[in-house]
Amino acid sequence: MKETEELPRAVPLSAELEAELRTTVVRCRGPRTEEASELVGELLRAGKLEEARQADVAGRTPCGHDTFKLVMEYPLDGEPHTHPCPDCGVITTWRPPALEV
């Protein structure tokens, strides 16, 4: 995974490509409570993936920051990237499509 200290240059996008990418970029889910983190870990260790997903969703304080502009600061290289949410600090991880623009 690439480090978050330095952002590469922004990628110029056509209106069509931007619209397509916006369908895959989500808003920040916000921080998870300590209790929810423990429950999610227990459920994952027990192999209860759907229950863990539900506990993860229910145990978060919604942030809602639109991460599109942040994500577009990174290259569309198909590699995983991470960056903290500027509003709540939750580490966001994503893998953009590998596109030649």
How many domains does the chain fold into? 1
Question: Does some domain include residue 99?
Answer: no
pTM, rounded to two decimals: 0.64
Question: Does some domain include residue 23?
Answer: yes
pLDDT over 90 at 78, yes or no: no
Question: Does some domain include residue 8?
Answer: no
Mean pLDDT calculated for residue range 13-34: 82
Average per-residue pLDDT for the chain: 83
pLDDT over 90 at 55, yes or no: yes
Question: Does some domain include residue 2?
Answer: no
Q: HSE (CB half, 13 Å, CA atoms) of 22?
A: 9
pLDDT over 70 at 83, yes or no: yes
| Closest by CA position to 71, among listed 60, 63, 79 | 79
Domain that holds residue 71: 15-94
Backbone angles phi, psi at 60, to 5 degrees: -110, 150
Q: Which two tokens stand for residue 78?
A: 């198909």
Q: Which two tokens stand for residue 44?
A: 């994952």
Question: Does some domain include residue 10?
Answer: no
Q: How far apart are CA 65 and CA 85, in angstroms?
A: 7
What band does 95 get if pLDDT is binned at 50, 70 and 90? Answer: confident
